Amino acid sequence: VSDDAFMKLQELMVFKLDEMLKNADTAFEVLTTSCCHLESTAAIMLSAGFDPPFEPPLKSMLSCIRSGQLKSLLTKSRIFVPQSRWLLGCLDELALEHAQCFIQVSDPSLVVCFAKQFSQEEPNLQVITGTVVVAKNPCLHPGDVRILEAVDVRILEAVDVPGLHHLVDCLVFPQKGGRPHTNEASGSDLDGDIYFVTWGSDLIPPGKKSAPPMDYTPAPPKESPRPVRIPG
């Protein structure tokens, strides 16, 4: 993946963070796509028609949000990626093959928050298909970034399964294969691990191939020649 892909995402993020103090539409977009539910007050004010340049309390809230995101960008290189999610990993028990995964995502958190406050409608769900990039922090080895194929279980022929559509905002890994994909990604083990997933074409390597994963086999345990006692 070229450096330009990351530079473009960073420049777009900084531009929107600057523009959100002047443009209500941009501010609402930033809040509803990259902020948590704690920023819902500002989003509700924007949806009610308040304009940041002429509403000091709203502009103050937006300035705090902007400062927080810029600090994360400066200290942790946290660049907002539009076509991506943080998802909880879990194991498939039905039909996925090796190098496949299942992903169904909901609307961003604030959009779901609005749906709960102002309507009884269910949030929109989207099944992701195609090549995706999966990684888990800490991601220090080139092989920690895994390239998988996201599939919709409804289009799998010759497999009679009820489906995985009850799983939302989860990254469903297959149980088939010689080595778990979870272990390939930074040695994770599905004990509540959260994974970064993107399906943006600019961040998918041209060859769509993963680097060889690192060997995360633990060192053999040491045997004690004497009984183990708890001091005290």
DSSP string across 9-21: HHHHHHHHHHHTT
In the predicted model, what is the mean pLDDT of the chain? Answer: 83
- Model pTM? 0.80
User: pLDDT at position 75, please?
Assistant: 94
In the structure, what pLDDT confidence band is assigned to residue 96 with cuts at 50, 70 and 90?
A: confident
What residue type is 18 in one-letter code? D
Number of neighbouring beta carbons within 10 Å of residue 206 = 7
CA 56 to chain centre: 33
Measured CA to CA, the distance from residue 29 to residue 20 in angstroms comes to 9
User: pLDDT at position 64, please?
Assistant: 92
Phi-psi bin for 193: left (phi > 0), alpha (psi -120 to 50), beta? beta
User: pLDDT at position 159, please?
Assistant: 32
According to DSSP, the β-strands at 194-198 and 170-173 are: unpaired
Q: What is the pLDDT of residues 154-199, one digit of tens each?
A: 443 233 345 788 888 999 998 888 888 899 899 888 889 999 999 9
Measured CA to CA, the distance from residue 78 to residue 69 in angstroms comes to 8
Q: What is the pLDDT of residues 112-128, one digit of tens each?
A: 555 544 445 556 788 88
- 50 burial type by CB count under 10 A (0-12 exposed, 13-18 middle, 19+ buried): middle
Cα 10-15-16 angle, rounded to 5 deg: 100
